[in-house]
Amino acid sequence: MDHFLYRDGALYAEDVPVAEIAAAVGTPFYVYSTATLLRHFRLFDEALSGMDHLVCFAMKAASNQAILKTLAQAGAGMDVVSQGEYLRAKAAGVPGDKIVFSGVGKTAEEIHTALTGGIRQFNVESEPEMETINKVALDLGVTAPITIRVNPDVDAKTHAKIATGKSENKFGIPISRAREVYALAASMKGLEVIGIDVHIGSQLTELEPFRLAYQKVAELTETLRADGHNIRRLDLGGGLGIPYERSNDAPPLPVEYGAMVKETLGHLNVEIEIEPGRLIAGNSGIMVSKVIYVKQGEDRQFLILDGAMNDLIRPAMYEAHHDIIPVIEAEPGTEQTAYDIVGPVCESGDTFAKGRMMTPLQADDLVAFRSAGAYGAVMSSEYNSRPLIPEVLVNGDQFAVIRKRPTFDEMINRDTIPEWL
């Protein structure tokens, strides 16, 4: 459920007409709903109630300071994968002891920043990385809390580019080698082993792969405890999918996920940590774009928008589907027509949808891409010298620009000219 609904035929973001935001900031732009962000965070928080737990928002999905602050004020921790994200989380007021550092290639500089600024734990992904964390911690005279990310070799049954839990993926250490690697970690004086981490992929639409992975983690917890390790926290990653197509079967709900977590891990008396990104932010944001032209091709009609692949890359990168809806609804009973919906970038990959049935649209009409709040703005670029598009946050009947559109001069003047030119 989200808060982008029609009222009398006009699309609203909470209590604000989307067309009003478009008039104020120009198109294209992203707009997020505070109520939806908070609702999704709380669904997870409640799904794990009864267990000691922390929901850490995977901020690579959406990292605007205003979004982070909204979630942090509701009690969310953050899962970060770079120094930049760590510093963003701190800038949004998240205390270090609620920040988890994930990612397959943390540098000594990144580790240093986190150890001096405060960190809940590092999720270690390899032995060389473990050695680096140990060394930086010893140099600083502190101990670094760590989990080790295990790769359970389960098929997440998702898009290949976002599956991470098979043995062929670059992530974590093979679960078969876990005892050996935990023994090595325990021998390092700069480390404190506190738990186990697993994250098998993104946009999962079934619970079964999670269940398989968590059962393996439960077994490993008992084995490692028997080996003498004090395993007291399990980081279960993120990955629960969202319904990008309203017409399709819905993925499992957070409450069903939470019940499965209790079933598989509840008996272990551990603290549970989860790192959802997409399910919190995905349906909390839309991208709004304007029709520039309707072009008649030989056998098809093209809807050419002012938004493009540089603004929302998911269709080009993951063959992702986004529902695209008019901001002003057609009269009831209006017949639909098929459009290829494209952006103006000079690549055939700049295609959002083919043969999509829509009510007829004209130049200057507005459309909204649903479920664009996660992996949308954060993956945007200025390809074709199209300035980054603005982000707007709605809260009830208020809205605010939370990242402004750079001017063309600002974009151009980021480059510098060597003295010989």
Ligand X SMILES: *Cc1c(COP(=O)(O)O)cnc(C)c1O
Complete DSSP assignment for 332-392: TTPPPEEEEEE-SSSSTT-EEEEEEEE----TT-EEEESS-SSSSGGG---GGG-PPPPEE
List Cα–Cα distances, 394 to 30, 79, 84, 366, in angstroms.
Answer: 11, 24, 25, 18
Q: Token pair 């399709």 is at which residue?
A: 248
Which CB, 276 or 315, lies closer to ligand X? 276
Q: Token pair 């480390």 is at which residue?
A: 191
Burial (CB < 10 A; 0-12, 13-18, 19+), residue 40, is: buried
Out of 132, 202, 283, 284, which residue is the one contacting ligand X (CB under 6 A)?
202
Please enumerate, by residue number, every residue annotated as part of a binding site: 239, 275-278, 314, 318, 347, 375
Interface with ligand X in residues 57-116 (CB under 6 A) = 58, 60-61, 79, 102
Stretch that binds ligand X, among 196-204, 287-295, 348-356, 388-396 (CB under 6 A): 196-204
DSSP letter for 75, please: T
Per the CB < 8 A criterion, the answer to whether 289 and 369 are in contact is yes
Tell me the closest approach of the beta carbon of residue 4 to ligand X, in angstroms. 20
Stretch that binds ligand X, among 178-186, 271-279, 294-302, 311-319 (CB under 6 A): 271-279
Tell me the closest approach of the beta carbon of residue 332 to ligand X, in angstroms. 37
Out of 209, 238, 251, 307, which residue is the one contacting ligand X (CB under 6 A)?
238
- Which three-class secondary structure state does DSSP give residue 242? coil
Tell me the closest approach of the beta carbon of residue 379 to ligand X, in angstroms. 12
Interface with ligand X in residues 307-346 (CB under 6 A) = none
Tell me the closest approach of the beta carbon of residue 84 to ligand X, in angstroms. 15
> How far is residue 197's CA from residue 144's CA, in Å, rounded to a whole number?
15
158 interacts with ligand X by CB under 6 A: no
Candidates 372, 375, 379, 301; CA nearest to 342 is 301
Amino acid found at 144: A
Which CB, 139 or 155, lies closer to ligand X? 155
> How far is residue 213's CA from residue 211's CA, in Å, rounded to a whole number?
5
Tell me the closest approach of the beta carbon of residue 365 to ligand X, in angstroms. 32
Stretch that binds ligand X, among 235-243, 300-308, 335-343, 404-412 (CB under 6 A): 235-243
Which CB, 173 or 325, lies closer to ligand X? 173
Which CB, 235 or 391, lies closer to ligand X? 235
Question: What backbone phi and psi angles, to 5 degrees, belong to 47?
Answer: -65, -25
Beta bridge partners of 163: 201
Tell me the closest approach of the beta carbon of residue 240 to ligand X, in angstroms. 6
Active site residue 346: yes
165 interacts with ligand X by CB under 6 A: no
Complete DSSP assignment for 102-158: --S---HHHHHHHHHH--SEEEE-SHHHHHHHHHHHHHHT--EEEEEEEE------S
Tell me the closest approach of the beta carbon of residue 60 to ligand X, in angstroms. 6
Please enumerate, by residue number, every residue annotated as part of a binding site for substrate: 278, 314, 318, 347, 375
List Cα–Cα distances, 403 to 30, 84, 273, 373, in angstroms.
Answer: 10, 17, 30, 14
Out of 199, 229, 322, 386, which residue is the one contacting ligand X (CB under 6 A)?
199
Out of 195, 258, 276, 315, which residue is the one contacting ligand X (CB under 6 A)?
276
Per the CB < 8 A criterion, the answer to whether 172 and 213 are in contact is no
Which position among 226, 346, 417, 421 bears the catalytic label? 346
Please enumerate, by residue number, every residue annotated as part of a binding site for pyridoxal 5'-phosphate: 239, 275-278, 375
Per the CB < 8 A criterion, the answer to whether 241 and 251 are in contact is yes
Stretch that binds ligand X, among 26-34, 275-283, 322-330, 349-357 (CB under 6 A): 275-283
Which CB, 1 or 417, lies closer to ligand X? 1
Strands 233-235 and 271-274: parallel
45 interacts with ligand X by CB under 6 A: no
- Which three-class secondary structure state does DSSP give residue 290? strand
Out of 195, 258, 277, 315, which residue is the one contacting ligand X (CB under 6 A)?
277
Tell me the closest approach of the beta carbon of residue 191 to ligand X, in angstroms. 19
373 interacts with ligand X by CB under 6 A: no
284 interacts with ligand X by CB under 6 A: no
Which CB, 235 or 365, lies closer to ligand X? 235
237 interacts with ligand X by CB under 6 A: yes
**Which residues contact ligand X by CB under 6 A?**
58, 60-61, 79, 102, 199, 202-203, 237-239, 275-279, 374
What are the residue numbers of the active site? 346
